Each structure stands twice: as structure tokens, then as C-alpha cells.
Amino acid sequence: MMTLFCWHLCIEKLLKAHWVKDNPGDIPPMIHNLTYLQKQTQLNLEQGMLEDLKVINFWNIEGRYPDYQRGLYQTATKEYVTGKKTLVENARLCLLEKLQ
């Protein structure tokens, strides 16, 4: 479960970097919602990437709030986490590339 939560943090920080780039002189919002952050940037992401952000966003909500952690524990099997590694790596590389 911690892996999924940390992956969310990685993508969140990259989106906040884009937010800062696109909103000079302002401070990024103190939120963790990836979809909201993305909409506050000038990023033009493909629909598939937007759907991936929704999946990754679920890991934050479930991991951050104790009442929801049980559901994430049931979801976060070894096979699930292994299967999502490529999704996160693709999102990370896409966001890093667009920062250039």
C-alpha cells in the first residue's frame, strides 16, 4: 500500500511543478487531487493519461484516510501493484518531459 501512496506523491509533485510553471508568482494549492491540479495547468494530456491520473488519485484518497485504508489493502495485491508500475512510470516520464 505504501508503494501506491508514494507513487501518488511522485505524480502529485510533478503536477505541482507544472502548476508553478503555469501560475508564476503564485503558490500551488494545498490539495492532493491530481485531476484538479492537472486542470489548473496548461498541460494537454491524452485521454488515456487523464484516466491513469484518476487511478493514481484513488491511491491517495484511500491511503491518506484511515477509514478507507481497508479497501486499498484489499486492492493492493502484489499482482495489482506490479501491474500498475508501468502506468506510473509512463505518467512520470510524460510529466517530466513536458516540464522541459
Question: Per residue in 18-58, pLDDT tens?
Answer: 999 999 999 999 999 999 999 999 999 999 999 999 999 98
Q: For residues 56 and 91, give the distance between their C-alpha atoms in angstroms, rounded to a whole number.
A: 10
- Quickly state the pLDDT bin for 94 (edges 50, 70, 90): very high
pLDDT at 84: 95
Question: Average pLDDT for residues 72-100, to the nearest whole number?
Answer: 91
Structural domains of the chain, count? 1
Question: Average pLDDT for residues 89-99, to the nearest whole number?
Answer: 96
What's the domain range around 61?
2-99
pLDDT at 45: 96
